[in-house]
Amino acid sequence: MNEPIFHYYGNKAGVEGADQIKQVIDDATRGSEYYKRQQEKRQQVLQKVNKMQMELDSYKKNEQKIKETKEIIQNKVKEFQINTDRIWAHFDMDMFYVACELLDKPELKDKPVAVGQSIVSTANYVARKFGVRSAMPGFVAKKLCPDIIFIPCHFEKYKSVSNIFMTILKKYDDNLESMGLDEANLDLTEYINNSQEDPAILCENIRKDIHLATQLTASCGVGPNKMIAKLASEINKPNGLHVVEQSATAVLNFLEKLPIRKIPGIGNITEQILSGLNFNTCKDVRDRADELYVIFTPKTFEYIFYSCWGVARNYHVEFEDQHSISCQRTFSSISTQREFEDKVDYIAEKLAEEMQSEEKVGNHLTLIIKTSKFEIRSKSLQLNQYTNQAKQIAIYGKQLLKIMQLDEPIRLLGLKMSSLANEKQIQKQSISTYFKRQIDKSSGQENLVPSIKGSKSHQITEENDSFNKMSIQQQEQSKPDILSDDEASSISNQILSGVNSKSHQSQQQQQQYQQKQQAQPKSFRCPICNKDIDCKGNNTVLNKHIDRCITQQNVIVEQSDESNRNFSGSKIKVPSKIDSKAQKSLNFFKK
């Protein structure tokens, strides 16, 4: 493992001379914050590899353990089979973002070009020969290729071309699985059974149709499942086709010398660990599966093991609703509060657009930043009501920004909304409907009681702690109403102060409210403490009673900082005496 600090994955299509590129990057970035961060990551990997190697050394000395483990592996091999009865295709547009830009700038086609600036989104094959690749910092790309030309992203342009691409593919599989704007998996089995076309000829014709419609090229892979098709699509990039025959032998031969990093889901860190333990190809995993079984968790082992045997999903599934929607941007370092807030406004707008297009609302917001030292930090806010409005998201994002108290430049900012629900369903059901169903026993009429405002409990939480997960689950089962802009602004101020403040109504609003009160019954039951309340024809009495129940609960504040590796647990501020009635009020508003 005597390699440069920067771990460069050189098996990307168009990349040549990976070892030399690693050394160039290492020399060019030495002393920078980026280099220091890579150094830290490298040390963490080395420590993990050393620990695993010690476990392996101990394992190899225990003959009984070796025998038992190899029997387990043999049984696992007997249990599965490589299904080859279906035909999958994976289509991948070549250097998509750059290719879209070059349609408008054909004079740059023979020059090194990348889309992005502070971070490379996509590079053309001319730039890749110098070692430039996606997700690489812009200054590193500039060191590798001084003449590289950066073009800003134009997502609307890419979406427009992507729509054409997807429309063509849907003629062959209406249930295709999109992998972003430029990739898709198709199950061609039914189409081929009906048309009796040869898979290779069919996919070649589809690629021609894509080129005619977009003036861009696409690569394609064909195989018996979606993973094999994906891997096959990278063999003859760019603008190529590769077919893995529908047999178990063909699949195993195809995977024999394939680098493990090629397997979808195996990233940079996992590859470094596997490489440090001399697992480099799929064949290495198959031959030494017992060692892999000893050092990895069951889930990690099974994923790597079965993938290296070519076992993967070969049918469409109905995916569960997504749990979160996020939007983030990388940019040149910024350092002022005004710049931070401008980024929050911009990203909140983009996140809101995405949520509204998906008809989703959420009630758990996370702010994510990356400092100029490449440290990642985050803070989360859990709401009692749902929203998908840009103004509201921005308000909460800025409050999290203030709590984070940034004192150094940042180069990435993102917002993630989780605990998602269907917008239309939420609009039909709200907390206020609970109050509207109070029936006066004497009149037998349904009484409409105003919903309670300004008394909601919010939490600033660490995203991964158990308390937060429990709260999210409770809120996912509930159907609170969607926040108005006024509520969002009011509640966000309460977050920092930790005090529930009551809103001030104008004189006209108070008159309207009193008119409604006159139509209300003189008494009904409190939904929190279950006591009969004498309202005397005035709902304010009930509201004040409920406020007293609610305000027994303190706002629970929890702060997270992913950059703090020594964070040992959540610190939840809870009153020393919480009686059962107060707990009821918290549970009620979580519902």
- Catalytically active residues, by annotation: 183
Residue 555 φ then ψ, to 5°: -70, 125
Parallel, antiparallel or unpaired: strands 438-439 and 446-447: antiparallel
- Cα atoms in the 13 Å half-sphere on the side-chain side of 435: 21
CA dihedral in degrees (118, 122, 124, 125; nearest 10)?
110
- In this structure, the number of other CB atoms found within 10 A of the CB of residue 254 comes to 19
Element (H, E) at 580: helix 580-590
Residue 312 φ then ψ, to 5°: -155, 170
d(CA 470, CA 377): 22
As a whole number of Å, the CA-based R_g of the chain is 29
Q: Which residues of 460-480 are buried (b: 16+ CB within 10 A; e: fewer)?
A: bbbbebeebeebbeebeebbb
Residue 362 φ then ψ, to 5°: -145, 165
d(CA 11, CA 64): 39
Instruction: Report whether 71 contacts 77 (CB < 8 A).
Output: no
User: Coil, strand or helix: which one is 313?
Assistant: coil
* Longest distance between any two alpha carbons in the chain, whole Å: 87
d(CA 71, CA 50): 26
- Segments in 198-281 forming alpha helices (H): 199-214, 226-233, 248-255, 268-276
3-state helix, strand, coil in the chain (%, to 5): 45, 15, 35
User: Coil, strand or helix: which one is 482?
Assistant: strand
Q: Please say whether the dihedral angle defined by the alpha carbons of residues 496, 501, 506 and 512, taken in this order, is positive or negative.
A: positive
Rounded to the nearest 5 degrees, what angle is found at the Cα of 267, between the Cα atoms of 262 and 269?
A: 130
In angstroms, the first-to-last Cα distance of the chain is: 53
Instruction: Report whether 128 contacts 103 (CB < 8 A).
Output: no
Instruction: Report whether 386 contacts 426 (CB < 8 A).
Output: yes
d(CA 274, CA 9): 13
Q: Which of 158, 249, 168 is nearest to 203 (CA)?
A: 168
Q: Which residues pair with 327 in a beta bridge?
A: 415
Element (H, E) at 533: strand 532-534
d(CA 336, CA 328): 18
User: Coil, strand or helix: which one is 139?
Assistant: helix
d(CA 360, CA 356): 6
Structure tokens at 154: 């134009």
CB pairs under 8 A, 24+ apart, for 331-337?
A: 331/117, 331/118, 331/411, 331/412, 331/413, 332/117, 332/118, 332/411, 333/372, 333/409, 333/410, 333/411, 334/409, 334/410, 334/411, 335/408, 335/409, 335/410, 337/401, 337/406
* Residue bearing tokens 């840009």: 390
